[in-house]
Amino acid sequence: MLQSQTMEHRIRQEQFNVEDNLAIEGYDPVAYQTVHKALVGKDNLSYTYQGVTYHFVTSANKELFVKNPGKFEPAYGGWCAYAMGATGEKVSVDPETFKIIDDKLYLFYNRFFINTLNSWNKDQEDLKTQADKNWNTYKP
């Protein structure tokens, strides 16, 4: 069982948008929903869930995450929601460009005068449907 858990963790690390196993560039996944802001978490308030590490601003946020990681982990492994829907590609994000939809965090690319959140908002329903399908080909 331990070996299969390790394999699942490795697959998640490969599929999720992480650097050195750290998700969302260290931003607190809970803060997006509780205070509706992108806040950088603290190194000493971290939690690793199935091989992916998250940082938190407060111990209360960490506790909320530990109780229900699925609620707070970003959609599509933290990759750009627009790109996942439009092309099925894994595209990096700007952790400060986000949207909460049905209590789920969606992150978007926003660099070089391209903010994909704007494009997402124009066709959210269809893009989300396609992104869900595309992510199913990646997710562990």
Reference 31, options 18, 42, 40, 23; nearest CA is: 40
On the CB side of 13, how many CA atoms lie within 13 Å of its CA? 16
What is residue 13's predicted lDDT score, i.e. its pLDDT?
Answer: 80
Across the chain, which distance is largest between two alpha carbons, in Å? 47
- CA angle centred on 16, ends 12 and 17, rounded to 5°: 155
User: Pick the residue with more confidence: 15 or 40?
Assistant: 40
The model's pLDDT over 45-63, given as tens digits with 9 standing for 90+, comes to 999 999 899 999 999 999 9
**What domain range is 71 assigned to?**
2-136
**Has this prediction a pTM greater than 0.85?**
yes
Q: How many domains does the chain have?
A: 1
Residue 138 has pLDDT above 90, yes or no: no
Decide if 44 contacts 26 (C-beta within 8 A).
Answer: no
Signed CA dihedral, 68, 30, 72, 18: sign only? negative
The model's pLDDT over 90-114, given as tens digits with 9 standing for 90+, comes to 999 999 999 999 999 999 999 989 9
